[in-house]
């Protein structure tokens, strides 16, 4: 492929760094279909030769493409094109319980499966129940807007005493915990959140349009009643390259 870079910047503008110009060129090629979806891009060595730049410069350009959700990079497997248009980086911040709940309110949960299911040993430890206990398991994809690209895979485990609400969940607007509060009359008094990195399961990677073998950010939220018992728990798996999370902490006693 002939070497093409964006037009030079105007004389009164600072020139873009080389890696950004290469990133823009590669992004334009992806959008034009020169690099087809689910195919590998040229290797780092080939791009270095084409643009006469260092491997570091090429890696930085590819990293920027990955941040935009256009490609998935896997060590030893090359760079796979996964989207023709940039995917938004999903960013969530939290300073209070209200803002934590806002995450579920401002996204759309598209339920794929729902039904009673036995919890495994790991889930039982998180829920504070016996292994094999029956909980209502709800799984699907969460999106910023209906029809938009998925931002995560979500599993919600709901205590079986609320299982009678299952028929109302697929058509429910808003988060499941709010449905439980409203219909069962049991308020959420506390939420406990845990985040950790893990390997993205291959089946979930395919649903999210990600290449297999990538990393995921696992966000677990347990919703507790006034007695401290778990009412429900949500498990969200985000592609690590497309998720950020921030918490603002202020020192007590300052004006």
Q: Which pLDDT value is given to residue 99? A: 56
Answer whether 18-81 and 90-245 agree in fold. no
In terms of C-beta density within 10 A (0-12 exposed, 13-18 middle, 19 or more buried), how is residue 253 classed? exposed
Rg (CA), the chain: 22
CATH topology of domain 18-81: Arc Repressor Mutant, subunit A (1.10.10)
Torsion of CA 245, 251, 252, 253, to 10 degrees: -150
- What whole-number distance in Å separates Cα of residue 106 and Cα of residue 123? 26
User: What single DSSP character describes residue 43?
Assistant: P
Q: Parse the chain into domains and list their residue ranges.
A: 18-81, 90-245
Q: Which residues neighbour 126 within 8 Å (Cβ) at sequence distance 6 or greater?
A: 220, 222, 233
DSSP secondary structure, 95-149, as one string: SSHHHHHHHHHTSEEEEEEEEEEE--HHHHHHHTS-TT-EEEEEEEEEESSTTS-
Q: Looking at the domain 90-245, which fold is it?
A: Chorismate lyase (3.40.1410)
Q: What is the pLDDT along the chain (255 residues), one digit of tens a residue?
A: 444 444 444 444 457 789 889 999 999 999 888 998 888 999 999 999 999 999 999 988 998 888 777 888 777 778 888 888 766 544 444 445 555 555 556 678 899 999 999 999 989 988 989 999 999 999 999 887 777 788 899 999 999 999 999 999 987 777 898 899 999 999 988 888 888 888 999 999 989 888 777 888 898 999 999 888 999 999 999 988 777 766 666 666 655
Q: What is the pLDDT of residue 100?
A: 54
Using CA atoms, how far residue 62 sits from 23, 77, 97, 145, in Å, is 7, 14, 37, 27
Q: What is the pLDDT of residue 1?
A: 42
For the record, the structure tokens of 21 come out as 């110009």
Helical spans, DSSP H, in 199-255: 202-207
pLDDT of residue 88: 55
User: Rounded distance, CA 75 to CA 216, Å?
Assistant: 16
CA 68 – CA 44 distance, rounded (Å): 19
Task: Identify the CA nearest to 136 among candidates 165, 112, 111, 115.
Answer: 115
Scanning the chain, the segments in alpha helix (DSSP H) are: 18-32, 44-51, 55-67, 97-105, 121-127, 176-184, 202-207
pTM of the shown model: 0.62
- Please tell me whether residue 51 adopts helix, strand or coil conformation: helix
Contacts of 119 (CB under 8 A, 6+ apart): 127, 129, 131, 132, 133, 134, 135, 157
């Amino acid at each position: 492929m002939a070497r093409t870079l964006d037009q030079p910047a105007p004389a009164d503008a600072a020139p873009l760094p080389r890696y950004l110009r290469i990133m823009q060129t590669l992004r334009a090629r992806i959008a034009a279909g020169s690099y087809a979806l689910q195919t590998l891009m040229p290797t780092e060595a080939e791009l270095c030769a084409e643009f006469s730049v260092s491997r570091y410069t090429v890696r930085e350009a590819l990293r920027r493409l990955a941040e935009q959700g256009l490609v998935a990079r896997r060590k030893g497997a090359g760079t796979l094109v996964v989207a023709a248009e940039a995917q938004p980086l999903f960013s969530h911040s939290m300073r209070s319980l209200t803002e934590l709940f806002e995450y579920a309110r401002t996204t759309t949960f598209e339920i794929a499966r729902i039904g009673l299911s036995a919890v495994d040993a790991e889930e039982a430890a998180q829920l504070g129940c016996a292994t094999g206990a029956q909980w209502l398991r709800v799984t699907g994809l969460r999106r910023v807007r209906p029809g938009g690209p998925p931002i995560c895979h979500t599993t919600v485990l709901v205590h079986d005493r609320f299982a009678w609400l299952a028929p109302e969940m697929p058509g429910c607007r808003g988060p499941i915990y709010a449905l439980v509060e409203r219909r069962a009359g049991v308020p959420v008094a506390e939420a406990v959140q845990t985040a950790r990195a893990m390997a993205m399961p291959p089946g979930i990677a395919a649903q999210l349009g990600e290449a297999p073998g990538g990393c995921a950010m696992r966000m677990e939220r347990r919703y507790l009643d006034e007695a401290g018992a778990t009412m429900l728990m949500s498990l969200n798996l985000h592609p690590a390259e497309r998720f950020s999370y921030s918490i603002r902490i202020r020192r007590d006693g300052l004006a």
